[in-house]
């Protein structure tokens, strides 16, 4: 049995355990039920062998997978699955918190209370007496100003200078991290004047990329130039107020849809992508585009 199958079995065990709970357990709030279930799954003697074996690092990739599944359900307007996927993501949080509690690091209550305190602190216009906040833009402006002030204070305590790009998570995927880096730099005025300027920069970067492609010598330089094209494109997305991650996901879905059209069309003709010519597939690609209106 694969690890993913074991993971699925673990989830099913959790559901079965919940279904078999006695009447008093059924009267618990949902979050209390889930916390109790996780404690039982992690019991060294009577719990699930797979769940007992897990640690922070082994669960990290599952947490990321579940987060992406939440995003997919949102973008598909699939509210039924959204409820389920949010539950799966919550399970990962409860799982990690249970592991932490077993090592006396922190508890789920610490996680929840800490986040509640943070939200109260970051919304003085709701929970405090700050006035003049009437739009979402006002909220973000104040939020960033407060965060910057706290980082400056922390830097002074540590006797070091606070950098504009400090605390941009290095574990983020490259695309969203590039967006955050550009956003941080733009807040202190390091920014393009308008999208037209960025498009010109993208063309410049493509020219430099073509030089490296033609030379075919320095692979590292080639990768760097391609990265510059991608970075400038992210900057353009920010100026256009387009989420580059979401934009790329939409493009991926479009590519997948059109390529499946090619496969189906070739299948009806008794062929396949493996036996078709590139010209045939390109013609079918154009038909797929036309079919999308």
Domain assignment of residue 153, yes or no: no
pLDDT in tens, the chain (293 residues): 455 555 555 555 555 555 555 555 556 789 999 999 999 999 999 999 999 999 999 999 999 999 999 999 998 999 999 999 999 999 999 999 999 999 999 999 999 999 999 899 888 888 888 777 888 888 877 777 777 777 777 767 776 777 888 888 888 889 999 999 999 999 889 999 999 999 999 999 999 999 999 998 889 999 999 999 999 999 999 999 999 999 999 999 999 999 999 999 999 999 999 999 999 999 999 999 998 86
Helix (H) or strand (E) holding 215: helix 195-215
Task: Give the total number of structural domains in the chain.
Answer: 3
Q: What was the pLDDT predicted at 141?
A: 78
Is 77 in the same domain as 51?
A: yes
Is 212 in the same domain as 271?
A: no
Q: Last residue of some domain: 107, 122, 137?
A: 122
What span, in angstroms and rounded, lies between the C-alpha atoms of 67 and 52? 23
What span, in angstroms and rounded, lies between the C-alpha atoms of 43 and 270? 56
* Structure tokens, 293: 């209106």
Domain assignment of residue 147, yes or no: no
Is 9 in the same domain as 112?
A: yes
* Structure tokens, 52: 């007992």
**Distance in angstroms between the alpha carbons of the first and the last residue of the chain:** 45
Instruction: Report the share of the chain in percent with pLDDT over 70.
Output: 90
Residue 93 lies in domain? 3-122
Q: What was the pLDDT predicted at 15?
A: 55
Domain assignment of residue 31, yes or no: yes
DSSP character for 44? T
Question: What is the pTM (predicted TM-score) of this model?
Answer: 0.63
Cα 172 from chain centre? 8
Q: What was the pLDDT predicted at 1?
A: 45
* Structure tokens, 129: 């007496």
Under the phi-then-psi rule, with left for phi > 0, alpha for psi from -120 to 50, and beta for the rest, what region is 47?
A: beta
Does residue 142 contact residue 133 with C-beta atoms inside 8 Å?
Answer: yes
Q: Which residue has the tokens 């010109």?
A: 200
């Amino acid at each position: 049995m694969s690890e993913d199958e074991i993971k699925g079995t673990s989830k099913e065990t959790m559901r079965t355990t919940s279904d078999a709970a006695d009447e008093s357990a059924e009267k618990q709030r949902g979050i209390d039920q889930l916390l109790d279930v996780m404690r039982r799954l992690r019991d060294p003697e009577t719990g699930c062998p797979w769940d007992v074996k897990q640690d922070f690092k082994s669960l990290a990739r599952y947490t990321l997978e579940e987060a992406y599944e939440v995003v997919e359900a949102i973008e598909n307007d699939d509210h039924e699955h959204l409820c389920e996927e949010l539950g799966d993501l919550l399970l990962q949080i409860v799982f990690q918190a249970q592991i932490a509690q077993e090592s006396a690091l922190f508890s789920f209550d610490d996680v929840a209370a800490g986040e509640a305190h943070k939200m109260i602190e970051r919304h003085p216009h709701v929970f405090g007496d700050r006035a003049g906040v009437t739009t979402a833009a006002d909220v973000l402006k104040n939020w960033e100003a407060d965060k910057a002030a706290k980082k400056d204070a922390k830097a002074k305590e540590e006797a070091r200078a606070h950098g504009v790009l400090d605390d941009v998570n290095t574990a983020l995927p490259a695309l969203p991290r590039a967006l955050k880096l550009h956003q941080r730099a733009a807040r202190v005025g390091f920014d393009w004047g308008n999208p037209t300027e960025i498009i010109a920069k993208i063309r410049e970067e493509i020219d430099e990329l073509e030089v490296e492609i033609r030379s075919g010598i320095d692979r590292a330089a080639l990768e760097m130039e391609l990265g510059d094209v991608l970075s400038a494109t992210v900057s353009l997305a920010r100026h256009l107020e387009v989420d580059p991650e979401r934009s790329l996901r939409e493009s991926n879905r479009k590519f997948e849809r059109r390529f499946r059209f090619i496969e189906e069309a070739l299948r009806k003709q008794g062929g396949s992508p493996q036996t078709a010519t590139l010209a045939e597939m390109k013609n079918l690609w154009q038909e797929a585009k036309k079919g999308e209106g």
